[in-house]
Amino acid sequence: MRKNRFLNLGDKNRCRSRRRGQALVEFGLIAAIFLTMLLGMMQFGMYQSTANSLWNLSREGARFASVGTPTDADIINRIKQVTPPNIAQSNLTIEIYPQTTRTSGSPVAVCLTYNMADKIIFPVVGKLLSRNRTIPAAPPAPVKNITGYNYYASSIMRVE
């Protein structure tokens, strides 16, 4: 009888270790999926924050260009003054249409192109989100070099 009792104790320990191993494998599978989703949400949040900042910058530039008679250099300086910290000015390209003098009642467009390569923290998720995104309000001139991680924002307003 004693022999059987010791064998039963060993079986219980073996069963517990198997359960622990099963729980560890299940946790590993779920944790990998959860971590991927979490990183994807973080990357998308950074992408969306940058996109909103670019839209606001283009609207601010178009508003500034439509009031008074600022030069192109004045408009570019104004955009650089109000650029938020999450936008690197070295990756920002500013284009203003028309580039000549603007008359009252005519449209003025401020087009921004931002290289988002510095915003990609998680390469796999970043490639899914940031590759060749173009805002539907395209600039009046043809867009050059649309390969890479460029994001475009443009705003058009009537000159007052």
- Domain containing residue 57: 2-158
Question: Over 70: is that where the pLDDT of 71 sits?
Answer: yes
Provide, rounded to the nearest whole percent, the portion of the chain with pLDDT above 90: 16
5-9, 17-21, 76-80, range with greatest mean pLDDT: 76-80
Name 22's Cβ contacts closer than 8 Å, sequence gap at least 6: none
Mean pLDDT along residues 17-34: 85
Give the per-residue SS3 of the chain.
Answer: CHHHHHHHHHHHHHHHHHHHHHHHHHHHHHHHHHHHHHHHHHHHHHHHHHHHHHHHHHHHHHHHHHCCCCCHHHHHHHHHHCCCCCCCHHHEEEEEECCCCCCCCCEEEEEEEEEHHHHCCCHHHHHHHHCCEECCCCCCCCCCCCCCCEEEEEEEEECC
Domain count, the chain: 1
For residue 57, CA distances in Å to 30, 39, 51, 155 come to 41, 27, 10, 9
pLDDT category of residue 73 using cuts at 50, 70 and 90? very high
Instruction: Please tell me the distance from the alpha carbon of residue 155 to that of residue 112, in angstroms, as a whole number.
Output: 9
What pLDDT digit, counting tens, does each position of 115-156 carry? 877 777 766 655 555 444 444 334 444 344 434 566 667 777
pTM, to two decimals:
0.67
Sort residue 115 into left (φ over 0), alpha (ψ -120 to 50) or beta.
beta
What pLDDT digit, counting tens, does each position of 26-59 carry? 999 999 999 988 988 888 888 888 888 888 999 9
Q: Give pLDDT, residue 148.
A: 52
Q: Within a 10 A sphere around the Cβ of 125, how many other Cβ atoms?
A: 19
Mean pLDDT along residues 74-89: 91
Instruction: Please tell me the distance from the alpha carbon of residue 32 to that of residue 48, in angstroms, as a whole number.
Output: 24
Cα of 20 vs its chain's centroid, Å: 41
